[in-house]
Amino acid sequence: MKKYVIALDAGTTSVRAMVFDLEKRQFIFTAQQEVGQSFPQSGWVEQDASEIYFKASYVLNSCRKAVSEHDVAGIGIANQRETVVLWDRETGEPVAPAIVWQCRRTSEFCASIPKEMREKIAAKTGLPVDPYFSASKIRWLLDNSSGARELLKCGRLMAGTVDSFLIYRLTEGKSFVTDHTNASRTMLFNIHTMDWDGELLNYFQIPRAILPEVRSSDARMGETRLGSQTLPIAGVAGDQQAALFGQACVNRGDTKVTYGTGLFMLFNTGETCVRSESGLITTIGYTLGKRTRYALEGSTFNAGSGIQWLRDGLGFISSSAESEPMAASVPDAGGVYFVPAFTGLGAPYWRSDARGLFSGITRGTTRAHLVRAVLESIAYEAKELSVCMEKDSGLKLGCLKCDGGASANDLLMQFQADLLHIPVDRPKERESTALGAALLCACALGLADEDTASSMRVRERLFLPSENKKKFDELYLGYLQAVRRSLL
């Protein structure tokens, strides 16, 4: 039996390829390349899709050199979601910069969508109308890119999320596909019929022909060359759904949070598609064959970006790791709250006009208090999302599984447990997104199943909550007051 699978994780700021050893049940090699972003106007975020592809090819080739390609069974892909690429069917070249999920350029267009259509979009897709999702980005490119319009006229235009573009290029144009999780983030995919929705395509004036075929998360997507071998690309999911699977959240009520640039909490609702009444997203968690697992998701635009801002914008710290000892140098935030609304507020508010703020500053406030307030704001965001999830699902969170860069911060994880009043479970392998892609690939190739995902996860530490529930409930109420100020 071939003993390795490769997980290709095409994130927002970097592309990584990681070799997973199926026998040892661990990653044994990682190659990573940073990916640039450009900000041509306020609120606009773009990337060069060709750069993403070339760096993906580079890290895959690095894996080939690290292990014998003859021992690799296949490649799984996880990717940044909602980001849109338009390209030429014949050349594979992008026709415009990719519009990144963080981009807010279509805010005005989204605001103009009437209430009746907003309700239809939510009912069909599980998503609120927001520039975050792909549909308005595709529409903007069709309206504003002369190259896209010309290719559309001659039947050569293709549109998709990053996974579709990478698969198309890696298979030399033989496969134009995506999976259910990525399709569910476009605001064009009906999560009940599991197909592109004709009414929504007509509304956004997006031809069905330019969109990819949609397959299950554990499907075989195509084949690519790696050295002298032809390998299957099998197992694809959006990064947060891949992390859900990698965190072994395979049962109804299982919940994970990823602390990245933004904060993403997913709550497995099993085969039940729960409609949120609290400002959350109803999405597809993952699909294995014909079995669909749904999830409630809370997505916030800024979390770890607040720590980056302390480092790069204010110069308060020289590294992200320095935030923990500085925050720990004071017993609390001294009554200071931070609302990380740099690009507006995501769930449960969906207010692109909100802006970040500090509140509660006094003459006694120090740099350490501000750093601690920024750290604590991440936990407050997760708390607010958890309250919404319990309300929508009628279930209580029993434990929170965590991953992402900030999960390494012990102070933050303990504060998170105290705030939620439940244990926070940190795994030994924190690359949950890559692990999910690797496991989906293994499932697709018959080398693993859903039960295997649970056995792959090993706990590193369990953070138990404080018994002083009242104290942390009062702190949370103070944060909610600060949020209300940011919305004024």
C-beta atoms surrounding 109 within 10 Å:
17
Coil vs helix vs strand at 29: strand
Confidence tier at 140 by pLDDT (50, 70, 90): very high
Asked if residue 239 has pLDDT above 70, the reply is: yes
Residue 344's pLDDT is what? 83
Question: Would you put residue 223 in left (φ > 0), alpha (ψ -120 to 50) or beta?
Answer: beta
Here the CATH number for the domain that contains residue 86 is 3.30.420.40
- Tell me how far apart the alpha carbons of residues 58 and 40 are, in angstroms, rounded to a whole number: 27
**Residues 145-149, mean pLDDT to the nearest whole number:** 87
Q: Is residue 339 part of a domain?
A: no
Tokens of 149: 């319009």
- Tell me how far apart the alpha carbons of residues 30 and 245 are, in angstroms, rounded to a whole number: 20
Q: Is residue 271 part of a domain?
A: no
Bridge partners (DSSP) listed for residue 338: 358
AA letter at 338: F
Q: Is residue 278 part of a domain?
A: no
Tokens of 134: 């792909």
Asked if residue 413 has pLDDT above 90, the reply is: yes
- Owning domain of residue 222: 4-238
Express each pLDDT in 428-470 by its tens digit: 887 889 999 999 999 999 888 888 777 778 889 999 999 899 9
AA letter at 160: G
Residue % of the chain over a pLDDT of 90 = 70
Residue % of the chain over a pLDDT of 70 = 100
Q: Is residue 464 part of a domain?
A: no
Output the CA torsion sign for 97, 302, 292, 170: positive
Q: Are the C-beta atoms of 280 and 392 separated by less than 8 Å?
A: yes
Residue 1's pLDDT is what? 63
- Tell me how far apart the alpha carbons of residues 472 and 479 are, in angstroms, rounded to a whole number: 11
Express each pLDDT in 71-116 by its tens digit: 899 999 999 999 999 999 999 999 999 999 889 899 899 999 999 9
Residue 176's pLDDT is what? 97
Residue ranges of the alpha helices (H) in 145-246? 146-153, 162-170, 180-183, 198-204, 239-246
Q: Is residue 162 part of a domain?
A: yes
Higher pLDDT, residue 450 or 223? 223
Residues 6+ apart with CB under 8 A from 165: 49, 52, 53, 85, 87, 94
Asked if residue 388 has pLDDT above 80, the reply is: yes
Q: Is residue 76 part of a domain?
A: yes
- Tell me how far apart the alpha carbons of residues 118 and 309 are, in angstroms, rounded to a whole number: 34
Which range (88-97, 190-199, 259-268, 410-419) has the least confidence? 259-268
Express each pLDDT in 311-346 by its tens digit: 989 999 888 889 999 999 999 999 999 999 887 888
Residue 168's pLDDT is what? 97
Average per-residue pLDDT in the chain? Answer: 92
**Residues 145-160, mean pLDDT to the nearest whole number:** 91
Q: Are the C-beta atoms of 242 and 440 separated by less than 8 Å?
A: yes
Output the CA torsion sign for 400, 430, 299, 374: positive
Q: Is residue 468 part of a domain?
A: no
**Residues 469-473, mean pLDDT to the nearest whole number:** 93
Global confidence as pTM: 0.88
Q: Is residue 9 part of a domain?
A: yes
Residue 453's pLDDT is what? 72
Express each pLDDT in 240-283 by its tens digit: 999 999 999 988 889 999 998 889 999 999 999 998 888 898 99
Residue 134's pLDDT is what? 96
Residue 194's pLDDT is what? 95
**Total tally of structural domains belonging to the chain:** 1
Q: E strand or H helix at 6, and its extent?
A: strand 4-10
C-beta atoms surrounding 342 within 10 Å:
16
Helix 469-486 and helix 367-393: axis angle, to 10°? 100
Tokens of 302: 């800024």
